[in-house]
Structure 1
Amino acid sequence: MNIDWAALGSVFGVSLVITVALVTLFTLGVVGLTKKESARGAAAGLAATGAYACFAACAAAVAYGIFLIMS
């Protein structure tokens, strides 16, 4: 058995970057919803919009991952 260490390292690196990016996006979404509760007026709407955009990006990344697994 021969292991392609370069490919394994590449998969590990991409997985690490994507995981950190998704966790960061989700965290920003939670922070945005928290700021929405304490903000007033236009700032509350902007915080909510940003939070929902972060959650939508997370959902899109997960859906894309599932699509890659299924194909």
Structure 2
Amino acid sequence: MHIKWNALAQTAGVSFGVTVAVVAVFALGILALSRREAALSARAGEGGQASGGAKPALLAGAYACFALCAAAVVYGLVLIAAP
């Protein structure tokens, strides 16, 4: 049995890089949601309305981050299940 160490190292490196990237994107999504919630609570504390219009870009960014994470997971599952 012969192990291709170069291929094993490349696979491990790419796996580590993709894992770090997906975790970072998910963390950015969580950060965007928490900043939106902080903006909503600050607006409510000032006597303003607590709903609607509070940083819609943050919500869209959070959704985009979560969609990117979901796409990476689905792509990984497709690679595993491919014949």
TM-score normalised over the length of structure 2:
0.80
Q: Which amino acid aligns with 1:33?
A: L
Aligned equivalents of 2:10, 2:54: Cα separation in 1? 41
Hey, which of these two has a bigger chunk of helix by percent?
Answer: 1
Return the index of the structure with the highest Cα Rg. 2
Displaced runs of 4+ in structure 1, greater than 6 A? none
Structure 2 residue runs without a partner (length 5+) = 41-51
Identity of aligned residues (%): 51
Q: Which amino acid aligns with 1:35?
A: R
* Count of aligned residue pairs for this structure pair: 71
Q: CA deviation at 1:44?
A: 1.5
RMSD: 1.5
Q: Larger RCO: Structure 1 or Structure 2 (Cα < 8 Å, ≥ 6 residues apart)?
A: 2
1:22 correspondence with 2:22? yes
TM-score normalised over the length of structure 1:
0.92
